[in-house]
Amino acid sequence: MSKNTDEIKSNIWKILEKVYDPEIPIDVVNLGLIYGVDVIDDKVVIKMTLTAPGCPLAEYVAQLVEESVRTEMPEIKDVKVEVVWDPPWTPRRITEKGRKILQELYGRDIVQEWIERMG
């Protein structure tokens, strides 16, 4: 992988940290919704999931991800967002930064509570 591709991927991850889930006040990266970013020439493929398969905002969140990359990196000619369900999302995918945000909001570690309850 070339340095240019690494830089592009790094920039995309930074852009995605500005895209917030409309229902949970955490960005899609720290919520653990982004499974991968692939760059091939001037094409980007972002694999992401959602917190639940029946999410009524699924199309909207994927569109936010795509539009954010297109807007902030107009040199990328093709952006494709693939919503995948395998592996399924769980609160375990939330990053440490995301957990800290939730702790500040709720006054407790709701992810740890979920882990203890669900095993």
Mind listing the pLDDT tens digit for each residue in 73-93?
Answer: 998 989 999 999 999 999 999
Q: 100 lies in a domain?
A: no
Q: 79 lies in a domain?
A: yes
Q: 10 lies in a domain?
A: yes
Residue 1 has pLDDT above 60, yes or no: no
Give the model's pLDDT for residue 57: 85
Q: 108 lies in a domain?
A: no
In total, how many domains does the chain have?
1
Residue 76 structural domain:
3-89
The residue type at 18: K
Per-residue pLDDT, averaged over 85-111, amounts to 95
Q: 84 lies in a domain?
A: yes
* Three-state SS at 23: coil
Q: 106 lies in a domain?
A: no
Give the model's pLDDT for residue 49: 96
Phi and psi of 113, rounded to 5°?
A: -60, -40
* Three-state SS at 57: coil
> Model confidence over 32-87: pLDDT tens digits?
999 999 999 889 999 999 998 888 888 999 999 999 999 999 989 899 999 999 99
Strand extents, DSSP E, the chain: 34-40, 43-48, 78-83
- What the block records as the tokens of 69 is 């990359």
Q: Rounded to 5, what percent of the chain is helix, strand, coil?
A: 45, 20, 40
- What the block records as the tokens of 114 is 């979920």
Confidence of residue 23 (pLDDT cuts 50, 70, 90): confident
**H helix or E strand, kind and range, residue 22:** none
**Radius of gyration of the chain, Cα coordinates, nearest whole angstrom:** 15
Q: 102 lies in a domain?
A: no
Q: How many residues does the chain have?
A: 119
Q: 71 lies in a domain?
A: yes
Any idea what the CATH number is for the domain that residue 66 is in?
3.30.300.130
Give the model's pLDDT for residue 55: 83
What is the value of pTM for the model shown? 0.90
Residue 3 has pLDDT above 70, yes or no: no
Give the model's pLDDT for residue 90: 95
